[in-house]
Structure 1
Amino acid sequence: MSETELLALLRELDDPERLERSLHYDRAATGLKFGGLVRQLEADFGVPCESERDTQESSEYGRVRIPAEATVCGTRIVVCVSKFGSLAEVCADNPGAFLGTEEAHEEGALDLGDLATVERALADLGYVSVPEELLESDYKGPSALEHFTARPTWWTRFFGLL
């Protein structure tokens, strides 16, 4: 999806009446899908992946961590999954640790092959991967987020503690 299409999707999913999860959020279905993601990434990278799920008081459902020793660049990959519309984010080390994932030869860069493997798993399971750069941009939506953070971002809205 283009940045314009992704922003349109974020705006469409943004319901000021439901900050933590969408109207049609199905906890059981989200958990099954997330479990499939964990299994797929473990198979693709050939290692057990640490995961946490069903995050409370957050719009994030869970995270999968691919260990650094399983990646070409030696950087841990973290995949965050939202409780909104199957949104996902792929980042190096931790969300916000490095802005972006593809800056070649820079700290926090991910191997393009590793990144493609993660993106393929997400797409195969119906997730929409949103670039970290877009999620870290200023939030411009109808939900009142100012009391959560001084500078609300799209990441705050769809992955942050609320």
Structure 2
Amino acid sequence: MRRGEMAKLTQLIDNDVFRAFATYATIVLLKMMLMSLLTAYYRITRKAFANPEDTASFGKGENAKKYLRTDADVERVRRGHLNDLENIVPFLGIGLLYALSGPELSTALLHFRIFVGARIAHTFAYMIPLPQPGRGLSWAVGYAVTISMAYRLLSSVLYL
């Protein structure tokens, strides 16, 4: 790296909005990673596996085949994880561009915090499960935050 490139990278890391984005992005990524562990936990405790090789410890033949099945609890966790993928990935892309567009720190923090809170609430609503509209509202709030960042980003750097 040349000297000028290093200075630009240091400026980015010293940017409060970027650091806030990095913090909240890390939180939701860790939350999403936790869903993988939760899926594995439910698969093991419910003895419900998707692949034949995963049932090897239960013997061979018909005995192992009975563990090659779906389970309602495993599927619920998997749907929650899929919903994370569908919502956190757009947040990461749009949120990064938004953070780099120079928004006010207080506005950016509001976006990031509401999104993270909404995703955590969505996970609890999905896993407990809580009655609707709790899960739907938490999804809608997080989605609206991402749309709001996209709108503000496009409004500030529009090159159409």
TM-score (norm 1): 0.29
RCO higher in structure (CA 8 A, sep ≥6) = 2
Greater percentage in strand: 1
Larger-gyration structure (1/2): 2
